[in-house]
């Protein structure tokens, strides 16, 4: 067996064993990378250390901690709650209205934080108790909220797009633009799926609020609604880069929380910074560990091996996309979104480009597929968040998410059949 084949076995079997043992993903990546280095006769502790540092030594990656901080400030400073209150004022009275509130709030919050976990936690904390009080089936409600939460990685500003762009050297601004229409289509898909699910529920209609109350709720959310306008508008006009947009978002959220809404005290800022720092450390350690594994994967020439396996499909780009998306669906059942990007995006993108597939389109499809993996059992990170917040069993949440998971898979198929849905807005914006 060649050293390259041995390295492939070390990586694949090592990851499976270490994940099965419950080891931290970042540490598992470092250990499998070190094992590959030993097999390839490239063992050098200094080389491993250099790759660890190189994994996080990137200016665009600075967007990650600031977007995480912006999300924490939104939840602590009442910004997220005001978005939900506004949505409830307009559609809360409709039969099943709290579900529509969850969808609308998910889309709006996605345009501010870019974090699926942060948005899901905020939505579940506020809406699940209300849904329980009004007699909504808890498993379906939890499934809807989890499904709404994964719109955040698609609509800009998106942390996964930042990580993908840095990892594959793809334009982050173009990825942001590419995510707008698919994110809105995901929201529309959830609306259709929720309406179909509602047919089996006996939920009463509420009394619509007077127009004055609705406008008042919208006014209270005005500062929150201004946030995505500033971020997207600033990037579109070239006032700031995606990395600088993250800083602007965090500063804006801090200013609104402390001095305008005044729902967060200065003494609470320490706790917000600590929570943001912990999440940032997890993401950055993943980036560092993935760089070690990625470097050894390159030395083992695994991309060429995979390209050889998929070579016959290069002449058929659409069929190649179907195969790669199916592979990513299977990967998403076991891996979280960030490690999926860090490990597989640098390997798959060159094959897609060789087949003539637009790299921005492929990046959108890759991240969308990985986001769907966040609500795909058995791992389903977002499902775990909803189950924990709502004090529900994982089985209940998995049962409730199925209709919405099917909806997302159909949307994924739609984008494969009609890539112009993604590429046309990017070309227009350019």
Q: Is the pLDDT of residue 94 over 90?
A: yes
CA dist 164 and 177 (Å) reads 14
- The region of weakest confidence among 67-76, 330-339, 417-426 is 330-339
Q: Are 65 and 59 in contact (CB under 8 A)?
A: no
Domain limits for position 404: 3-429
Q: Are 360 and 175 in contact (CB under 8 A)?
A: yes
CA dist 341 and 360 (Å) reads 14
**What pLDDT is recorded for position 423?**
94
- The backbone torsions φ and ψ at residue 152, rounded to the nearest 5 degrees and listed phi first, read -60, -40
- The backbone torsions φ and ψ at residue 378, rounded to the nearest 5 degrees and listed phi first, read -90, -15
CA dist 367 and 347 (Å) reads 14
Tell which residue, 369, 361, 374, has the closest CA to residue 326. 369
Average pLDDT, the chain: 91
320 band by pLDDT with thresholds 50, 70 and 90: very high
**What pLDDT is recorded for position 430?**
66
For residue range 48-63, what is the model confidence (pLDDT) as tens digits?
899 999 888 888 888 9
Q: Are 176 and 156 in contact (CB under 8 A)?
A: yes
**What pLDDT is recorded for position 159?**
92
Count of domains observed in the chain: 1
Q: Is the pLDDT of residue 203 over 90?
A: no
1 band by pLDDT with thresholds 50, 70 and 90: low
For residue range 324-376, what is the model confidence (pLDDT) as tens digits?
999 999 888 878 899 899 888 988 998 999 999 999 999 999 999 999 999 99
| Percent of the chain scoring above 70 in pLDDT | 99
Q: Is the pLDDT of residue 3 over 90?
A: no
**What pLDDT is recorded for position 308?**
75
Q: Is the pLDDT of residue 158 over 80?
A: yes
- The backbone torsions φ and ψ at residue 372, rounded to the nearest 5 degrees and listed phi first, read -60, -35
């Amino acid at each position: 067996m060649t050293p390259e084949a041995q390295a492939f076995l070390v990586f694949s079997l090592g990851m499976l064993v270490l994940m099965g043992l419950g080891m931290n993903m970042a540490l598992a990546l470092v250990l499998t990378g070190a094992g590959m280095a030993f097999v390839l006769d490239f063992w050098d502790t200094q080389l491993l250390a250099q790759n660890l540092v190189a994994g996080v030594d990137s200016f665009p990656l600075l967007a990650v901690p600031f977007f995480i901080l912006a999300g924490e400030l939104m939840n602590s400073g009442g910004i997220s709650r005001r978005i939900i209150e506004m949505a409830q004022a307009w559609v809360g009275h409709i039969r099943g209205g709290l579900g529509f509130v969850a969808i609308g709030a998910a889309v709006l919050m996605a345009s501010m934080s870019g974090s699926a976990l942060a948005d899901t936690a905020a939505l579940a904390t506020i809406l699940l108790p209300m849904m329980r009080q009004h007699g909504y089936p808890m498993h379906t409600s939890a499934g809807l909220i989890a499904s709404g939460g994964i719109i955040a990685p698609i609509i800009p500003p998106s942390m996964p797009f930042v990580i993908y762009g840095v990892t594959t050297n793809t334009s982050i601004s173009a990825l942001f633009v590419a995510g707008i229409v698919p994110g809105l289509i995901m929201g529309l898909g959830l609306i259709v799926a929720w309406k179909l699910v509602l047919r089996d529920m006996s939920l009463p209609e509420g009394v619509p609020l007077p127009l004055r109350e609705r406008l008042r709720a919208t006014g209270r959310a005005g500062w929150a609604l201004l946030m995505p306008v500033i971020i997207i508008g600033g990037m579109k006009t070239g006032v700031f880069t995606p990395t600088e947009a993250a800083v602007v978002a965090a500063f804006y959220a801090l200013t609104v929380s402390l001095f305008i809404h005044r729902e967060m005290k200065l003494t609470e800022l320490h706790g917000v910074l600590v929570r943001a720092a912990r999440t940032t450390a997890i993401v950055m350690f993943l980036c560092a560990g993935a760089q070690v594994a990625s470097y050894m994967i390159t030395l083992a020439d695994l991309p060429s091996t995979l390209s050889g396996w998929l070579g016959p499909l290069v002449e058929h780009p659409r069929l190649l996309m179907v195969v790669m998306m199916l592979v990513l669906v299977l990967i998403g059942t076991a891996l979280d979104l960030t490690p999926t990007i860090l490990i597989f995006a640098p390997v798959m993108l060159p094959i897609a480009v060789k087949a003539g597939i637009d790299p921005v389109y492929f990046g959108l499809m890759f991240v969308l597929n990985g986001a769907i993996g966040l609500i795909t059992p058995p791992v389903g990170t977002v499902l775990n968040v909803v189950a924990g917040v709502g004090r529900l069993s994982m089985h209940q949440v998995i049962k409730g998410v199925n209709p919405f998971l099917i909806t997302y898979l159909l949307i994924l198929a739609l984008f494969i059949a009609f890539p112009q849905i993604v590429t046309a807005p990017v070309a227009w914006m350019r």
